[in-house]
């Protein structure tokens, strides 16, 4: 897993509600108190039973790569190439994020992935924007 990124005056975190570093790096999902369904990101109501009784719940640190692409052309301020993938988590949630890997050509569907934190783009002022990403486990 990549080293944890440090926030400085030239970096900012994208959406504090999506992941946490405490007590360990994990995505913050929603879990329905009525039926136990997990969702990411957390919704206002359960997509299965429509209950609005939801709680924050950490997702597992590892999942399985469902699908991916290698992005070679992107919006300004995104460093290319980068991987973009869908990862299935044991809780039944599929999450999309950038993939950080030494060699993107070696990614394989079905491989184990884990969450990491890193630079996803630069903002309009040129600051690096930090968020969750995936990397091979």
Asked whether residue 67 is domain-assigned, the answer is yes
Asked whether residue 78 is domain-assigned, the answer is yes
What tens digit of pLDDT does each residue of 15-43 get?
888 999 888 999 999 999 999 999 999 99
pLDDT at 4 over 90: no
Tell me how many domains the chain contains: 1
pTM: 0.88
Do β-strands 128-136 and 11-13 pair in parallel, antiparallel, or remain unpaired? Answer: parallel
* pLDDT (0 to 100) of residue 12: 87
Where residue 47 sits, what CATH number does that domain have?
2.40.50.840
Asked whether residue 5 is domain-assigned, the answer is no
What tens digit of pLDDT does each residue of 55-90 get?
999 999 999 999 999 999 988 899 899 999 999 999
Region at 112 (left for phi over 0; alpha for psi -120 to 50; beta for the rest): beta
Mapped onto helix, strand or coil, the DSSP state of residue 106 is helix
Distance CA 8, CA 128 (A): 9
Q: Whole domain around residue 85: which residue ranges?
A: 11-136
DSSP 54: E
**Lookup: tokens for 15:** 């959406």
């Amino acid at each position: 897993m990549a080293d944890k990124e440090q926030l400085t005056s030239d970096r900012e975190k994208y959406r504090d509600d999506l992941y946490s570093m405490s007590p360990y790096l994990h995505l913050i999902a929603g879990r329905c108190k009525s039926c136990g369904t997990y969702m990411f990101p957390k919704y206002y109501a359960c997509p299965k039973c429509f209950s609005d009784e939801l709680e924050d719940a950490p997702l597992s640190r590892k999942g399985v790569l469902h699908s991916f692409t290698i992005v070679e052309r992107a919006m300004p301020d995104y460093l290319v190439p980068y991987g973009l993938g869908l990862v299935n988590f044991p809780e039944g949630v599929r999450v999309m994020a950038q993939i950080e890997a030494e060699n993107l050509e070696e990614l394989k569907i079905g491989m184990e992935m884990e969450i990491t934190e890193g630079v996803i783009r630069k903002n309009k002022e040129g600051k690096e924007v930090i968020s969750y990403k995936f990397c091979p486990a």
